[in-house]
């Protein structure tokens, strides 16, 4: 089937009815910081604020509505997390059963969220692709309806409602930058732009560690079947799909203006940027569009560029680690080792100097082993928060001036 035929077969109007009143009309927020960096207006479409934490709810609601009575036997799907949560929510609202196959290393927070909605979770397979094969087999044997995470016209129609909102909310929309995993989101948004005859660039973004669409489009592949790229570990697990979709590949060949990749460091940086400058919590997959804007590869444009922050279901431990790393990189968090006299008051004298320099003590540990110490000394390791590199340098100068030998770790 030609891409044009797929576009014509996608019922966006029915999807709009299906998502209305359930999926939130998420805000589009101007970003002064990103606008300054790009040299033209930038806004963020905050799908991380969606009811289930990602855009996936739109597609799930659209599919379940299209199934009608076909959903009565229950739903089955596969996902790394966000699609699973969306389908579980849709099943719960419809009052039908839901079984979800998730990769064995799926984030615990996403597994728990899916179970909390009443779905049965099967942790099986090393990837989304393997989990999807198991889900397809379960659908065949159980009679439940399979809800594919991206390669389905009803799901794509649901994602198109996001594109319609952008056209309505951003009158000077000139470019949309969005994540590409299986391609359902990009296909849906692209269809909405195409149907409106909008002169809007559509830029897809993948993680360097797993970028099958980059390979497929550069090779001019006409089918997804032989295409499966090697993939490495990525914090953008929500878009770590090894092979393009059979429906989405021809669509994106026509609809995408470009597809780019971003590194793990760029993704992590974008996640922290969104917390600090937009007050938005984004998972790795949800932050790749912002990462692409921040890497300097896109030129300024007349009109507004919208970056889709597609999901916010991030593991809290990962986000905390990234924020702590940022503090260290910017000199606002430092770990030092020194020695103090092993006598009453020896440690208090050191801490008085730290307090006098207005540094904040995060943690302290006595170190008596594996370091050369005088018989009347003890080692001390301090983790401190400061106001930045200049403040850290002042603190170190104060300690060394008082006779302490300080090693920064």
pTM, entire model: 0.86
Given a contact cutoff of 8 angstroms between Cβ atoms, the answer to whether 58 and 85 are in contact is: no
For the record, the structure tokens of 29 come out as 């927020």
What pLDDT, on a 0 to 100 scale, did the predictor assign at position 214? 87
What pLDDT, on a 0 to 100 scale, did the predictor assign at position 135? 96
What pLDDT, on a 0 to 100 scale, did the predictor assign at position 222? 55
* pLDDT band at residue 150 under the 50/70/90 scheme: very high
Burial class (CB in 10 A: 0-12, 13-18, 19+), 155: buried
* pLDDT band at residue 231 under the 50/70/90 scheme: low
What pLDDT, on a 0 to 100 scale, did the predictor assign at position 243? 86
Do residue 337 and residue 320 come from a single domain? no
What pLDDT, on a 0 to 100 scale, did the predictor assign at position 129? 87
Lowest mean pLDDT among 23-32, 185-194, 239-248: 239-248
208 has pLDDT over 60: yes
**What are residue 125's phi and psi, to 5 degrees?**
95, 150
Given a contact cutoff of 8 angstroms between Cβ atoms, the answer to whether 3 and 252 are in contact is: no
What pLDDT, on a 0 to 100 scale, did the predictor assign at position 223? 55
What pLDDT, on a 0 to 100 scale, did the predictor assign at position 110? 87
How many CB atoms sit inside 10 A of residue 25's CB? Answer: 13
What pLDDT, on a 0 to 100 scale, did the predictor assign at position 7? 84
What pLDDT, on a 0 to 100 scale, did the predictor assign at position 228? 56
CATH number for position 35: 3.40.50.1100
How many domains does the chain divide into?
A: 3
Share above pLDDT 90 across residues of the chain, in percent, rounded to a whole number:
77
CA distances from 280 to 19, 76, 110, 277 (A): 23, 31, 18, 8
Given a contact cutoff of 8 angstroms between Cβ atoms, the answer to whether 184 and 159 are in contact is: yes
Given a contact cutoff of 8 angstroms between Cβ atoms, the answer to whether 82 and 53 are in contact is: yes
* pLDDT band at residue 2 under the 50/70/90 scheme: low
Domain C-terminal end among 127, 146, 165 = 146
117 has pLDDT over 80: yes
**Which residues are known to be catalytic?**
56, 310
Share above pLDDT 70 across residues of the chain, in percent, rounded to a whole number:
96
Given a contact cutoff of 8 angstroms between Cβ atoms, the answer to whether 308 and 178 are in contact is: yes
Do residue 175 and residue 312 come from a single domain? yes
225 has pLDDT over 70: no
pLDDT digits (tens, 9 = 90+) for 349-370: 999 999 999 999 999 998 877 6
Could you tell me the residue range of the domain that residue 262 belongs to? Answer: 3-51+154-324
Place of tokens 């399979």: 146
Do residue 191 and residue 76 come from a single domain? no
Do residue 78 and residue 135 come from a single domain? yes
* pLDDT band at residue 216 under the 50/70/90 scheme: confident
230 has pLDDT over 70: no
Do residue 240 and residue 351 come from a single domain? no
Residues shown for the chain: 409
Name beta bridge partners: 308: 45
CATH number for position 335: 3.30.70.260
pLDDT digits (tens, 9 = 90+) for 293-341: 999 899 999 999 999 999 999 988 899 999 988 888 888 899 999 999 9
282 has pLDDT over 80: yes
What pLDDT, on a 0 to 100 scale, did the predictor assign at position 123? 95
Angle among Cα 210, 185, 235 to the nearest 5 degrees reads 35
Do residue 299 and residue 388 come from a single domain? no
Given a contact cutoff of 8 angstroms between Cβ atoms, the answer to whether 294 and 34 are in contact is: yes
Mean per-residue pLDDT of the chain: 92
Do residue 72 and residue 37 come from a single domain? no
Do residue 176 and residue 126 come from a single domain? no
Cα gap 272→39, rounded to integer Å: 21
260 has pLDDT over 90: yes
Do residue 179 and residue 306 come from a single domain? yes
* pLDDT band at residue 375 under the 50/70/90 scheme: confident
Average pLDDT over residues 49-77: 96
Do residue 136 and residue 165 come from a single domain? no
Cα gap 190→204, rounded to integer Å: 10
What pLDDT, on a 0 to 100 scale, did the predictor assign at position 376? 83
Cα gap 238→249, rounded to integer Å: 18
Domain C-terminal end among 324, 343, 365 = 324
What pLDDT, on a 0 to 100 scale, did the predictor assign at position 366? 85
* pLDDT band at residue 200 under the 50/70/90 scheme: very high
Do residue 127 and residue 166 come from a single domain? no
Q: Give me the torsion for CA of 166, 167, 173, 178, rounded to 10°.
A: 40
Do residue 181 and residue 37 come from a single domain? yes
């Amino acid at each position: 089937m030609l891409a044009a035929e797929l576009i014509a077969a996608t019922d966006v109007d029915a999807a709009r009815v299906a998502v209305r009143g359930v999926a939130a009309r998420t805000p589009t927020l101007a970003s002064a910081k990103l606008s300054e960096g790009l040299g033209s207006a930038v806004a963020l479409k905050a799908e991380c604020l969606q009811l289930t934490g990602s855009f996936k709810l739109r597609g799930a609601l659209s599919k379940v509505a299209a199934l009608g009575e076909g959903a009565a036997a229950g739903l089955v799907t596969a996902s790394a997390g966000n699609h699973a949560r969306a389908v579980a929510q849709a099943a719960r609202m419809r009052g039908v059963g839901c079984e979800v196959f998730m990769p064995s290393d799926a984030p615990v927070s996403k597994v728990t969220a899916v179970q909390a909605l009443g779905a049965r979770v099967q942790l099986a397979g090393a990837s989304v692709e393997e989990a999807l094969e198991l889900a397809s087999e379960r659908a065949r044997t159980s009679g439940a309806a399979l809800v594919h995470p991206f390669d389905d016209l009803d799901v794509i129609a649901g994602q198109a409602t996001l594109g319609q909102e952008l056209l309505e909310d951003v009158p000077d929309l000139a470019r949309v930058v969005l994540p590409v995993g299986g391609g359902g989101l990009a296909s849906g948004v692209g269809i909405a732009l195409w149907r409106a005859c909008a002169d809007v660039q559509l830029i897809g973004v993948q993680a360097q560690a797993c970028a099958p669409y980059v390979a497929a489009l550069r090779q001019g592949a006409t089918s997804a079947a032989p295409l499966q790229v090697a993939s490495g570990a990525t914090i953008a697990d929500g878009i770590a799909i090894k092979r393009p979709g059979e429906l989405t590949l021809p669509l994106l060949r026509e609809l995408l203006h470009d597809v780019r990749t971003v590194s793990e460091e760029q993704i992590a940086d974008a996640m922290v940027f969104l917390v600090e400058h937009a007050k938005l919590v984004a998972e790795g997959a949800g932050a790749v569009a912002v990462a692409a804007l921040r890497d300097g590869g896109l030129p300024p444009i007349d009109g507004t560029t919208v970056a889709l922050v597609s999901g916010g279901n991030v593991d809290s431990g990962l986000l905390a680690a990234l924020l702590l790393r940022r503090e260290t990189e910017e000199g606002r968090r430092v770990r030092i080792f020194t020695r103090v006299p092993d006598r009453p008051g020896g440690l208090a004298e050191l801490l008085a100097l730290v307090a006098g320099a207005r540094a904040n003590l995060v943690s302290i540990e006595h170190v008596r082993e594996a370091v050369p110490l005088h018989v009347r000394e003890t080692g001390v390791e301090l983790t401190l928060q400061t106001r930045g590199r200049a403040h850290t340098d002042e603190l170190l100068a104060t300690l060394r001036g008082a006779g302490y030998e300080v090693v920064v770790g």
